Amino acid sequence: MVWSHQPLFSAFGFLIAMLALAGLFGLLNLQFLALAQIMVAVGAVVVLTMLTILSVNAQEKQLPQEPHKLRWFIISTVIVAPFTYLLYATLSQAYTHFMPLEKVTVKVIGKSLFSEWVFAFEIISILLLTAMVGAIVIARKHLPKQKACS
């Protein structure tokens, strides 16, 4: 996903990564999370990303030159790694917030998500929508003007 020069192939890589994550959830017997991953990440986010990429119509000559891609990849990995560890540590203790593990059902998860966490989901959806619209606006500025049919 990161090394591809074509944006559409990067989106396919993202699709494969999201499906693999859903598969991991399925192997851990977390069917709700696996289905939610497929419906939300694959069904909405990846499809919206592909739609944005296809509507922008980026070509190879319009893509920026990235001579230090590996260096930035390593630097960003080093920066993100502590936050990933903190997220893992937090989520590994999150089940105690609900109830004992045997009593966690889809109903309990849904009730918690749509009562306590609904604001976070709305903020993330607005952020994703803004990023997609911004990408389209930036890409459209660089496209040549087409002649109107008369």
Q: Pick the residue with more confidence: 85 or 56?
A: 85
**In which band, very low, low, confident or very high, does the pLDDT at 144 lie, cut at 50, 70 and 90?**
low
- Residue 49 included in any domain: yes
What lies within 8 Å, CB to CB, of 33 at 6+ separation is 22, 25
Q: Tell me the average pLDDT across 92-117.
A: 70
Share of the chain above pLDDT 90, in %: 7
Q: Which domain holds residue 91?
A: 7-118+130-141
Which spans in the chain are helix H?
7-27, 31-36, 47-56, 69-92, 95-98, 106-115, 118-141
- pLDDT above 70 for 68: yes
- Average pLDDT over every residue of 78-98: 81
**Is 0.75 topped by the overall pTM?**
no
Q: Answer whether residue 148 is part of any domain.
A: no
Q: Decide if 94 is inside a domain.
A: yes
What is the average per-residue pLDDT within 44-60?
75
Q: Is residue 150 part of a domain?
A: no
83 within a domain of the structure (yes/no): yes
pLDDT of 127 > 90? The answer is no
| Domain membership flag for residue 109 | yes
Q: Is residue 147 part of a domain?
A: no
Q: How many domains does the chain have?
A: 1
- Within a domain: 149: no
Q: Please, are residues 48 and 132 in contact by the beta-carbon 8 Å criterion?
A: yes
pLDDT-based confidence at residue 101 (cuts at 50, 70, 90): low
For residue 92 the two structure tokens come to 């590994």
| pLDDT score at 81 | 93
Query: Which residues does 88 contact at the CB level (< 8 Å), separation at least 6?
Result: none
Burial of residue 116 (number of CB atoms within 10 Å: 0-12, 13-18, 19+) = exposed
Percent of the chain beyond pLDDT 70?
Answer: 81
